[in-house]
Structure 1
Amino acid sequence: MREVEVKYHVEDVEALHLALKSAGIALSPPVLQDDQAYAPEDWSYGDSKLGVSFVRLRAIEGQHTFTLKRPAENALSCDEHETAVDDPDQMHHAILAMGYRPTVRITKTRRTAVLPDMSLCVDEVDGIGTFLELERIVSPEASGVEVQAELAGFVNGLGVPASRTDEPYDALVRAAQQSR
């Protein structure tokens, strides 16, 4: 499958919640996500991400998932494969054996809403702030850039002060850690 997303750093969280409520969008209760990101041993931040497979282990309330994302058109338009993991410690060691290294840990509190043609997430990401993320699952033939433009149009229609970013959370968290 292919996941296409847009991500915005929210400048006024209260305004976001009011805009979502006005649009009839109800968010789920908050859920804590703890992600360990991994990159290939021979890849470094600053290198191109296109065509490179990145993986993560995610923990949510005692449940674990393994995800592989390979950016296709840009860092937020990715081929994606995901599966449940029974033993995260063994999966961690398997990831290392496949030639990956841990990069950053991302912890966030996520609230979601599922809309007819997209999912919406409001993420409070430790160390970097609150983000609005919209995602759509598309066929491999679909233009990720066109889908991102549609998703951005939805966000713009909310009228909330927010800044779009083209970086995934791991890059944003790493940049914040490097600036300290």
Structure 2
Amino acid sequence: MPSRRSEKEGRSVIEAELKARVQDPEGVMARLEKRVPGRPEVYRDTYYDDPAGGLDASDRELRVRTVHGPDDTRSVLTYKGARVDTASGSKPEHETRVEDPEAVHAMLRGLGYVPTIAFEKRCRNYDFTAAGRRMLATLVRVPEIDGTFIEVETIVDEDDVHTALADVRQVLAELGIGEQDLTTELYTDAVVARRNA
């Protein structure tokens, strides 16, 4: 299946996304299930950087993700550029499916990148349309972090980010998520903090 995150007529596409802590996971899940049945998946993520930490220092990300679902396992290579919206953390994203993740890990190491962190996310994904946009809502639990999170995203051109984020906020409001619940905390940072505690 081709990725929906790619170059579009030579312009960057942006993952317009908001993330929030969920105070009522059961209630939010029930509201999502009314829209569309959820898809349980386990993500195993490995993040890479150059030895000097140049990607992290410039707010970029390089990740290999393997997704284990009920019917299949797939892997993707993702590059995220520096955020274009500080309040939400939305970034340009380029992602492609890979058939052999071990080969990709070997290629990245061969190019001089080093794995900086690997961890697991337990997700329940919901694909639906809202405000005329294809949306993906994901309920997330990271075993090493307390609490449940929700991410709602849509892929847009760079000139549509603010309008798209308003539509994402509306979806979150309909799910019972308030502005006070929003967070830009990165899972990577939270996992590192927990491991160093």
The TM-score bracket by the shorter chain reads 0.7 to 0.9
The size of the alignment, in residue pairs, is 173
Distance 1:174 1:18, change over 3 A: same
Q: Which has the higher strand share?
A: 1
Q: Of 69, 91, 100, which aligns to 2:80?
A: 69
Alignment of 1:5-44 (within 5 A): 5-21=17-33, 24-43=34-53
1:154 aligns with 2:171: yes
Deviations 1:99-118 (A, max 9, x none): 42212222122111112121
Q: Distance in 1 between matches of 2:116 and 2:66?
A: 16
Query: Which 4+ residue blocks in structure 1 deviate beyond 4 angstroms?
Result: none
Q: Residues 45 and 164 of structure 1: is their aligned pair in 2 closer, same or farther, counting only changes over 3 Å?
A: farther
Shift of 1:146: 4.4
**Cα offset for 1:130?**
1.5
State which of 65, 68, 84 in structure 1 corresponds to 2:97. 84
State the structure with bigger RCO (CA 8 A, min sep 6), 1 or 2: 1
After superposing the two structures, state which structure 1 stretch, 95-104 or 108-117, moved more.
Answer: 95-104
Find the counterpart in structure 2 of residue 120 from structure 1: 137
Matches within 5 A, 1:126-137: 126-128=143-145, 129-137=147-155
1:34 Cα shift? 0.8
Q: Give the superposed CA RMSD.
A: 2.5
Aligned mates of 2:41, 2:175 — CA distance in 1 = 24
Map of 1:168 onto structure 2: 186
The answer on whether the counterparts of 2:77 and 2:97 sit within 8 Å (CA) in structure 1 is yes
Q: For residues 33-70 of structure 1, give each alpha carbon's deviation from its aligned partner in whole angstroms, at most 9, with x where no partner exists.
A: 11111233322798451xx3x11111123322111111
Residues of 2 paired with 1:97 and 1:167: CA distance?
31
Residue 177 of structure 1, CA deviation: 2.3
Structure 1 runs not aligned, ≥5 long: none
Aligned to 2:3: none
Identity across aligned pairs (percent)? 28
1:55-88 deviation line (CA, Å, top 9, x unaligned): 1111123322111111231473121111222222
